[in-house]
Amino acid sequence: MVQRIMIEPVTRIEGHAKVSITLDDEGKVRQARLHVNEFRGFERFCRGRMYFEMPQIAPRICGICPVSHHLAAAKAGDAINGVVPTRTATLLRELMHMGQVVQSHSMHFFELAGPDLLLGFDAEPARRNVVGLIEDHPQVALKGVLLRKYGQNVISALGRKRVHPEFAVAGGVNSALTPAARDAMLGELEERISDVLDGIGIAKAWLEEHRDYAESFASFPCGYMGLVGENGELELYHGQVRLIDCQGAQVVQFDPRDYLDHIGERVEDWTYLKFPYSLKLGWPEGTYRVGPLARLNVCERIGTPKAQEQLEEWKSLNGGGPVQGTLYYHYARLVEALYALERIGQLLDDPDIMSNDLYAPSAAITGHGVGCLEAPRGTLFHDYHTDEDGRLTSVNFIIATGHNNWAMSRSVEEVARAYVDGRNLSEGMLNRVEAAIRAHDPCLSCSTHALGQMPLEVTLLAADGRILDRAVRG
Amino acid sequence: MMKPKIATDWLAACAGCHMSLLDIDEKLIELLQKVELTSSPLTDLKVPPESGVDVGLLTGAVNNDDNLHVARRMRQRSRILVACGDCAVFGGIIRMRNHWPLSEALEAAYRDNPSTVEGLIPGAPEIMRPLPDRSVGEVVKVDVYVPGCPPSPEVIFYVLNELAEGRIPALDESRLNYD
């Protein structure tokens, strides 16, 4: 007889998932899986729409990083139009993207994952959340709220709305930056940089105090993937895709347009989220992680001074090799939020950003375009084919969180092996399993799946999969 | 006086409506002092208390068998049920999927797809079964409809604040948004 523990839904992540842990006769963990319940079917129902509608349709995939889909769809649209956007349009799109990185990363640290660090993994579930954080650490919670608000205001200043903005179009953007909006962004910048530095202080102090824990918690060798600029610097809006192995050696670097030569996706029967991997290395050797941890491991430098200082410390954590501990995602995420704020300052100082040269007209439809950028959670690909009139004939997405699918399941397995004792279950143990997923900041945007009454349900299964008994713990 | 209890959940959604709730910024702190937030994707309480809540808020469309179950349970346990956002109110963007058989949508994602290697259509018992897309109001009785993609933070705060004060919010034209 095998026993199974279900955690469902996994909370304080963006989207819903559940975890199954299969135990052997001794109550030891045999297998752990992350089941993602999302299926909405965008790849089918976008066919037949016009390609220039995609910057409005695609963001509805995800309301947390709608700007990523908005911009990736516009970039694919640029290629279908056969144009390179003007310098001003590119600067403004990157500005909006940086606003999103600030809001998404700070929300994750302060409002979703922070409570695990600041209140403790074993804190009472009813309080281990943003509400408890507001009660116990109001100043920290307020910094999170203000950082998120700042990023969202950068987005709405350009696209009129915070969620699902209307700004980028195939070939450029639809409006210029006003001097008043620029001044408002600049006026608050130093304060927000100071807030994020405080957050970095909190994350670093926690990681140092719990160093052994952080280095062993869901730590395993794997590849890392992310965009880099021409000189190997951190790049979030455009660049080349670089994949490194677990030692830090480069496996491949390629233009995003050629992604089908390098990335394949595996499907498993038990989850709707596919498993991307490197075609060169094959399955499962070619699995890798993306997102902040991966990007800091992949890049050689950062083009803004304060974030560069942090990167130098980062590179010393594992003697120059890739940092593997999953909880270091939190630190990396805040370093990127710092970079995004500093980058906003650089972009706003560029005289071209105030120009009205916003749109590059197109002479003909090319019929194909790939749009790629680094979403807050990792590398995002949109790939569109159209007929000669611009009607979409095929649409393919590889979403940032998908790349981490294998790693999230692996993290769950590592943590379950280390902390879950099938004969003596505690809520805190199961929250650690969830925390391993949460550290990847998954954006599953999917449906709730819940069967039991309260946090977990244990199902006893016979070898043939028949349910023998079921116990619900409230 | 007991604080009114609120529960929120998302069905087939992009999470944008919950983001718009967080977009009330500092007012979130004010609101959380006025109400008791029970189960929500933002907390670790996974289902609404059996004893019920005053206000249940659902975002997202009903797009699979689990959504249906969650919508019915939220209805049973809520005195007032709010459908928040265009997916919950109208069925949302996924409603476009209803123009084709579900099998075609699954094919496009998992088999007839350029990056998928040796595709198959997931179907293990652990995962839900897709259904034709419906609005929340098509499967359970809804008391308050709040359209918008997403509804603006101001409207969400207005609705929750009115409900917390024991009033049914009046959504006049200035608060309706159908984008």
The pLDDT tens digits of the residues spanning A126-184 come to: 777 777 777 888 888 889 989 999 999 999 999 999 999 999 999 999 999 999 999 99
Q: Which residues numbered 26-45 in B keep a CB inside 8 Å of some CB on A? A: 26, 28-29, 32, 37, 41-45
Determine which of A274-288, A406-420, B135-149 has the lowest per-residue pLDDT on average. A406-420
Band of residue B1 on the pLDDT scale cut at 50, 70, 90 = low
Q: Does B51 touch chain A (CB under 8 A)?
A: no
In chain B, residues with a C-beta closer than 8 Å to the C-beta of A443 are: 15
Percent of chain B with pLDDT over 70: 98
Q: Which of A447, A453, A461 to mutate to test the interface with B (most CBs of B within 10 A)?
A: A447
Element (H, E) at B78: strand B78-84
Band of residue A273 on the pLDDT scale cut at 50, 70, 90 = confident
Q: What is the pLDDT of residue A97?
A: 98
CB atoms within 10 A of CB A464: 5
B40-75: burial string, b at 16+ Cβ within 10 Å, e else: bbbbbbbbbeeeebbbbbbbbbbbbebbbbbbebbb
**Cβ <8 Å between B42 and A39:** no
Q: What is the pLDDT of residue B62?
A: 96
**Cβ <8 Å between A447 and B128:** yes
Q: Is the pLDDT score of A457 beyond 70?
A: no
Q: Is the pLDDT score of A12 beyond 90?
A: no
Residue A89 has which token pair? Answer: 């349009």
For residues A59 and A71, give the distance between their C-alpha atoms in angstroms, rounded to a whole number. 9
Q: Is the pLDDT score of A391 beyond 80?
A: yes
In chain A, residues with a C-beta closer than 8 Å to the C-beta of B69 are: 450
- Closest chain B residue to the Cα of A262, Cα to Cα: B115
Using CB atoms within 10 A of its CB, is residue A359 exposed (0-12), middle (13-18) or buried (19+)?
middle
Q: What is the pLDDT of residue A33?
A: 83
Q: What is the pLDDT of residues A208-236, one digit of tens each?
A: 998 988 888 888 889 999 999 999 999 99
Q: What is the pLDDT of residues A93-114, one digit of tens each?
A: 999 999 999 999 998 888 777 7
- A396: CB partners within 8 A, 6+ apart: A43, A381, A382, A383, A384, B113, B114, B115
In chain A, residues with a C-beta closer than 8 Å to the C-beta of B46 are: 8-9, 11, 450, 454-455
Average pLDDT, chain A: 87
Q: Does A58 touch chain B (CB under 8 A)?
A: no
Beta strand A2-7 with A456-461 is antiparallel
Band of residue A357 on the pLDDT scale cut at 50, 70, 90 = very high
Beta strand B36-37 with B62-64 is unpaired
Instruction: For residue B17, give the nearest of A57, A59, A63 by CB distance.
Output: A63
For range A403-413, the mean pLDDT: 85
Q: What is the pLDDT of residue A429?
A: 73
Q: What is the pLDDT of residue A438?
A: 75
Q: What is the pLDDT of residue A443?
A: 55
ipTM of the complex: 0.93
